[in-house]
Structure 1
Amino acid sequence: MTIWDRVWQRKPVESASAPLPARSVDEGHIGYLRGLLFTLKEFEVFEELTDLLIAASRFDEAAIAACFVADGGYVDALARLDQPLDTPETLALAIAQLEQRGAVSGEYEEAANALAELLYRHGLLDQLLTRADPGDGTAGDHFAAMRAADVLIERQRTGEAIDVLLAQSANSGAQHAEVGQRAVALLLDTGRFEQALAVLCDRADSGDWDADEQCARLLVEHGRLRQLRARADSGSWHARQLLSSLLADRSDFVELRERADAGDVLAARRLAEALAANGQEDELRRRAATGDRAAAQYLADLLIADDETAQAACILQASSDAGDLLAAELLDQLNMEGNLQPNVSQN
Structure 2
Amino acid sequence: MSALRVGEGGGSDRRAARGPGGRELGGQASVDWGRWFGPAGRTDYDRYARQYVQRLLDEGRIEELRSAALTGTALARARLAEFYAAQGRIEELRELAGTENARLALLLAGTLADTMAGQDGLEAAVAVLKVRLEIREKDARDQLIELLRAQDRVEEAVTFLQARPDENDYAGWHLLVHLLLVQGRIEDVRAMAGDSARPYARSSVADIFAEQGRIEELRALAAPGHTGLALLLARTLAGQGRVDEGIAVMQERVDANEEYARDWLIDLLVEQGRADQAVTVLEGMPYAPYTSISTAPINVARVLDEQGRAEDAIRILRTRGPAPRQLAALLAGQGRTDEAVQVLDRAMADAKHSSVIEELAEVLAELLIEHGRIDELHTRAETGHRAFGVRLAAYLAEPGRTG
**Do they fold alike, i.e. is TM over 0.5?**
yes
Q: Deviations over 1:229-257 (max 9, x none)?
A: 43876322253253377489353698468
Q: Pairwise CA RMSD of aligned residues? A: 5.3
Equivalence for 2:161: 98
Matched, 1:37 2:125: yes
CA distance in 2, matches of 1:265, 1:82: 56
Question: 1:256/1:6 Cα in 2 relative to 1: closer, same or farther (>3 Å)?
Answer: closer
Partner-residue secondary structure (3-state), 1:315: helix
Cα distance in 2 for partners of 1:295, 1:65 equals 44
Q: How far 1:113 moved relative to its partner?
A: 1.6
When residues 124 and 258 of structure 1 are mapped into structure 2, their CA distance, relative to the original with a 3 A threshold, is closer
Q: Map 1:292-307; keep pairs closer than 5 Å.
A: 293=361, 297-299=366-368, 301-304=370-373
Contact 2:194 2:201 in 1 (8 A): yes
Q: Distance in 1 between matches of 2:302 and 2:133?
A: 45
The one of 242, 249, 267 equivalent to 1:195 is 249
Where 1:98 maps in the other structure, the secondary structure is: helix
The one-letter amino acid of 1:186's match is T
CA distance in 1, matches of 2:393, 2:367: 16
1:98–1:111: 8 Å Cα contact kept in structure 2?
yes
Deviations 1:88-135 (A, max 9, x none): xx82x54343124432x642x122122112211111122122222367
Amino acid at match of 2:380: I
Q: Number of paired residues?
A: 276
- Map 1:301-340 to 2 at 5 A: 301-304=370-373, 309-321=374-386, 325=387, 327-337=388-398, 340=401
Cα distance, 1:333–1:98 mapped onto 2, change above 3 Å: same
Partner of residue 293, structure 2: 235
1:113 aligns with 2:171: no
Q: CA-to-partner distance for each residue in 1:132-168, whole Å, 9 max, x for gaps?
A: 2367995535454455567784xxxx4x223135249
Q: Is the 8 A contact 1:256 1:267 kept in 2?
A: no
Q: How far apart in 2 are the matches of 1:152 and 1:338? A: 55
1:127 is aligned to 2:194 = no
Q: Larger RCO: Structure 1 or Structure 2 (Cα < 8 Å, ≥ 6 residues apart)?
A: 2
Distance 1:116 1:285 in 2: 55
Greater radius of gyration (CA):
1
Residue 278 of structure 2 corresponds to residue 224 of structure 1 = yes
Q: Could you list the runs of 5+ residues in structure 2 that have no partner in the other structure?
A: 1-93, 350-360
Deviations 1:20-50 (CA, angstroms, capped at 9, x unpaired): xx9xx9xxx99855531243x3x7xxxxxxx
Percent identical among aligned pairs is 10
Structure-1 separation of matches of 2:394 and 2:314: 34
**Do the aligned partners of residues 161 and 266 (structure 1) sit closer, same or farther apart at CA in structure 2, a change above 3 Å counting?**
farther
TM-score if structure 1 supplies the norm length? 0.55
Please state if 1:79 is matched with 2:146.
yes
Unaligned runs of 5+ in 1: 15-21, 44-63, 174-178, 343-347
Structure 1 distance, partners of 2:201, 2:396, is: 59
What residue number does 2:99 align with?
A: 6
In structure 2, the CA distance between the partners of 1:166 and 1:6, relative to structure 1 (3 Å rule), is: same
Match of 1:82, SS? helix
The amino acid that maps onto 1:265 is: P
CA pair 101-319 structure 1, distance change in 2 beyond 3 A: farther
Q: Indicate conservation of the 8 Å contact 2:314/2:330, yes or no.
A: no
Offset of residue 314 of structure 1: 1.0
Judge conservation of contact 2:381–2:392 (CA < 8 Å) in 1.
yes
The one-letter code sitting in structure 2 at the alignment partner of 1:166 is A
The residue type equivalent to 2:220 in the other structure is V
Give the conservation status (yes or no) of the 8 Å contact 1:317–1:331. Answer: no
Partner residue, 1:183: 233
Deviation at residue 331 of structure 1 after TM alignment: 1.1
Could you tell me how far 1:313 is from its partner in structure 2? 1.2
Q: How does 1:48-87 map to 2 (within 5 A)?
A: 71-72=138-139, 75-82=142-149, 85=152
